[in-house]
Amino acid sequence: MEINDKNIETHIINAKNGDQAAFRYLLNLFWTDVYNYQLKRTKSENDAEDITIQTFSKAFDKIHTFDEKYTFKTWLITISKNIHIDLLRKKNTSILTETSEEQQEKVYLVVDENPTPEDKIIREQNLAALLKDIKQLKPKYQEVIQLRYFQELSYKEIAEQIKEPMNNVKVKLLRAKKLLAAIIKKS
């Protein structure tokens, strides 16, 4: 599929309508741009990856606010920059803030999807080879793959277990599946 402004615009519109394939397309298309931007700022692969995950999580959560007269990549980079600034402020002030139970419950009202065809393909792989390939992933990706596909936990349960927002879990799973697919393709 050709990558052009019209194609990106179509995927943004589809993402605003809740199309998961459009979200995946945008994540795959812009991941490297956001990651490299953060890598230059943080000089840490782990921090850059965590901030990139949070960026896409926030962007997908707020996609309905995106104004098409701006460039989507610029919008993502701005979100990423703001997340990084917020993290630096939190580090400097080290003040912990609690979310109310009501806010926490609202997060969990997001509908948990049934396994996608990608999920089924992952399960059907030869288990020994698959486990070997999974071990090549970073530990945080191994963990979400393990919790989702082997322990069959919902996004909500994974979020509770690893103490991260549900959107972060979804983005980590998307990223883990993409990295795992690349590893499987190589072998």
- What's the pLDDT at 52? 92
Would you say how long the chain is, in residues? 187
For residues 79 and 15, membership in a common domain is answered with yes
Q: What confidence category does residue 127 fall into, taking pLDDT thresholds of 50, 70 and 90?
A: low
For residues 141 and 77, membership in a common domain is answered with no
Which of the listed residues 93, 113, 143 is the one where a domain comes to its end? Answer: 93
19: left (phi over 0), alpha (psi -120 to 50) or beta: beta
For residues 114 and 85, membership in a common domain is answered with no
Q: What is the mean pLDDT of the chain?
A: 82
Lowest mean pLDDT among 15-24, 37-46, 126-135: 126-135
For residues 63 and 127, membership in a common domain is answered with no
What CATH number corresponds to the domain at position 24?
A: 1.10.1740.10
Domain residue limits at 155: 101-186
What CATH number corresponds to the domain at position 159?
A: 1.10.10.10
Cβ pair 141, 179 in contact under 8 A: yes
For residues 34 and 77, membership in a common domain is answered with yes
Q: Is the pLDDT of residue 66 over 80?
A: yes
* Amino acid found at 28: N
For residues 89 and 10, membership in a common domain is answered with yes
How many structural domains comprise the chain?
A: 2
Which of the listed residues 62, 77, 93 is the one where a domain comes to its end? Answer: 93
For residues 133 and 81, membership in a common domain is answered with no
For residues 75 and 132, membership in a common domain is answered with no
- What's the pLDDT at 110? 55
For residues 105 and 165, membership in a common domain is answered with yes
Which of the listed residues 34, 61, 93 is the one where a domain comes to its end? Answer: 93
Q: Is the pLDDT of residue 107 over 60?
A: no
For residues 89 and 115, membership in a common domain is answered with no
In the three-class reduction of DSSP (H, G, I as helix; E, B as strand; rest coil), residue 178 is classed as helix
- What's the pLDDT at 77? 93
Cβ pair 114, 160 in contact under 8 A: no
For residues 118 and 163, membership in a common domain is answered with yes
Of the candidates 148, 186, 5, 182, the one whose C-alpha atom is nearest the C-alpha of residue 171 is: 148
CA dihedral 136, 167, 42, 145 (to 10 degrees): -10
Residue scoring higher pLDDT (156 or 93): 156
- What's the pLDDT at 89? 82
Q: Is the pLDDT of residue 78 over 90?
A: yes
- What's the pLDDT at 95? 46
- What's the pLDDT at 55? 92
For residues 76 and 132, membership in a common domain is answered with no
pLDDT in tens, 19-44: 888 988 999 999 999 999 999 999 98
User: What percentage of the chain has pLDDT greater than the value 70?
Assistant: 79
User: What pTM did the predictor assign?
Assistant: 0.60
Cα distance between residue 85 and residue 102, in whole Å: 27
- What's the pLDDT at 5? 79
Cα distance between residue 33 and residue 174, in whole Å: 17
Q: What is the mean pLDDT of residues 155-159?
A: 90
| Both tokens assigned to 167 | 């959107």
